[in-house]
Structure 1
């Protein structure tokens, strides 16, 4: 797994922290990974003509 750095507005970070505190995710990183997975699943076919090019 590679590390990336992102910048988010304080309000979004606060919501992510509340989601972790509520037990929806173990960490903020996992919440963001989940969001990225969901985005890729929804939009990957728009970019790739052959879905076999992606490995999840």
Structure 2
């Protein structure tokens, strides 16, 4: 497994910590891996036909 360093806003990491504390995830890393898996599955499951346009999310750099 590769190690990745990323910067996350304090409020978001606090939410992740709450999910760990309530037992939803065993640790922060697994919570973040789960979010990445979900994002990738959404991308893969949403393959569109060339004639179809799908709304894409846009993210603002913080």
TM-score using structure 2 length: 0.69
Identify, as 1 or 2, the structure richer in helix.
1
Segments of structure 2 that go 5 or more residues without pairing to the other structure are 48-62
Segments of structure 1 that go 5 or more residues without pairing to the other structure are 47-56
Aligned residues: 46
Q: State the 1:11 CA deviation.
A: 0.1
* 3-state SS in 2 of match to 1:7: coil
Q: State the 1:37 CA deviation.
A: 0.3
Runs of 4+ in 1 over 6 A off after TM superposition: none
Residue deviations 1:18-54 (CA, integer Å, cap 9, x gap): 00000000000000000000000111364xxxxxxxx
TM-score using structure 1 length: 0.76
Q: Distance in 2 between matches of 1:42 and 1:18?
A: 24
